[in-house]
A and B are shown apart, each in its own frame.
Chain A
Amino acid sequence: MTVDSIRKGLLAKEFSAREIAEKALAHGEAKNAETNAFLTFSPERALAAADAVDKKIAAGERIGPLAGVPVAIKDVIVTRGLRTTCASRMLETYVPPYDATVVARIEQAGGVIIGKTNCDEFAMGSSNENSAFGPVRNPVALDRVAGGSSGGSAAAIAQGTVPLALGSDTGGSVRQPASFCGIVGVTPTYGRVSRYGLTAFASSLDHVGPFAGNVKDAAALLTVIAGHDERDATSAFAPVPDYSAVLDGNVRGMKIGLPREYFESLESETGELIRRAVDVLKSRGCEIREIHLPHTKYAIAAYYIIATAEASSNLARYDGVRYTKRAQAETLSDMYRRTRGEGFGAECKRRIMLGTYVLSAGYYDAYYLKAQKVRTLIARDYSEAFQQVDAIAAPVSPFPAFKLGEKVDDPLAMYLSDIFTITGSLAGIPCMSVPCGLTTAGLPVGLQILTRHFDETAMFRVAHAYEAASN
């Protein structure tokens, strides 16, 4: 089902919002034994929201743009009265006292939140294997990862439970699972969407981003959640267009850049699918140009300094005083240390340690400041490229979904696989993944489209034109 088909069916009284919500809840619960996509279901909240939509329809009132659409929310986004764990033992029983702005906006638009999705602990990971509550299995191939960190949200759509979901993206956590599961995932411009109520991981890099089964639905969800929020000082004032209204399929004359550096280290089948997708855009009238992003190879190093430094600071709040979990100890400092030692999983500890190290006395200039300067160079690569082209086409991941357990013992190899998503995150530009076919083994591959700051419109146009032409 799509946002449009639900709306039409509701208005034609073919079904009720309650029926849709009940179906989604039952579907999600049944599938969970297979994929583990959800950590918590919210039947009461969902049915209350659905009933409110049905009441409006019965009364002949106007319904919101997402009326009756089931939505899944990544469990790092807080929901009032609904357990929010960040997939961590640390917050296993945490029940937030307020709603994130994005959650409130979805419900105001008539969306029906059916549950909270599994993810890597505190959004740290690229395979969803770092969840304290077990990995998510890819609905396309159950022996493979769904991608991370927003694996549960991607899987919830790919398995057919919901048409829409929210994830969070710090270095690729929306785009990569979207690519692995064969759906659409969007990382908007930094500042485009409020982060009030998004559990902070790396504040200069964190985004909330939509997942959907198709480009138009993703555009509809972004239209609802985007825009300034007085509760988030980093949210931008730029006006929000109706992103789904600009999708007319016309991309004639648009200049698309192919970064030479991105095609050097690509698994061959993925590279072939990306090249074929670019040919499709060419046949739709796009002009294809080779571009250079010369600082690409430094992105991972810069990212893992900046992201871990900010994470070590953001995660300091989980100290046993305020957030549910506390280890027994005689002294205050022992209580801090033991609570954190017991509450955090291996990847969170690794990142807290690395972040603390790079910020510690004597190392700040050599690591954090250096990384911020390299970030300037990477952002500059993009702004120079965007003087020549309107959009960039690239792979999302060097390879399709890998087997569960395959990379879990090699954190550096896992980090290095984020190379194509991390560069866009560092620059803060909008980027998205749109499905561009299957490998011979039947695994989905995503095409990444990146555009200038706040030019989500161009990004959606290219993605939509590709989607329409390839269907």
Chain B
Amino acid sequence: MSTPDASVEARTPRFAARARWRAVGRFISGYGIVLSLIIMVVFLSFASESFLSVINLMNILRQVSINGIMAMGMTFVILTAGIDLSIGSTLAIAGVVTGGLVVGDHPQSPVLATLAGVLIGVLFGSINGALIARCRVPPFVATLGMMSMARGATLLYSGGRPTPELSANFLFLGQGFLLGIPFPVIVFAAVFLFSWIVLRFTVYGRWVYAVGGNPRSAKTSGVNTNAVVFSVYVVMGALAGLAGPILAARTTTALPQAGLGYELDAIAAVVIGGTSLTGGVGSVANTLIGTLIIGVMNNGLDLMGVSSYYQQIVKGAIIVLAVLIDQSRQKNP
């Protein structure tokens, strides 16, 4: 049912009251996610002495940065009504390849090695994108297959063994500080800023939203929808390829088993942020909040001494709740 313009509604008090409630509802569904984060932070500051300290807050940011980087890419994918399940495996192979380049007596430059990891991610993302945009394989299936293939490739490449003793200057990527801020957090911030600008201020960003909102309309308007769909998986792959070396540097070892289940955490952050799985609605700012909510929740439950088993239950409940809110919003826009 379409809503008549506001001036008509305002004529009678009953309509005006209803319009006001609807505005309140819209505000809550628009900013509810920010409110929940604020409520959590306020609650935890009282519940735990150590929560609101610079060290702890930095700690939270460092913990979420890997998931945050991947969730930014996942936002691109989900905005086009797609999904990418392969990113945990992509992260692992990028980490292992990068790790292999920075060990031994003549380690490569950390920058070049990391770039190699990103390129590996781009390669795997391109295969996903081609399968989905060109061959019309459903995203769930294509990336499910890639999840297994990339993991297998990782194990083959590494022989199933971890790559320890990565070069000291490479470890800066995961453990270093710049102006007192952990380096992964700086990378995360840069990725967020870049994604935000791209989606909000560029032609490409408009296309991503349009393709997710209504591909047929986008096509009628002259948008090359196949190219846009292809590109979001490349972006996703590149970011997973960036996250791999960071994780390896943080844990000082490149593990072929790294990143198991990370795709689900990234999807969770996007969904909790309120980006619609049906495409076209959402933003990376929402995803940032979603990422922080997961991080703050895990940290808070840790500080309060709650078992990590409970943390999983709470996280699951939040995901379902977020989708329920999204559903009711779609019913009464």
A and B from one complex:
no
A→B interface (CB under 8 Å): none
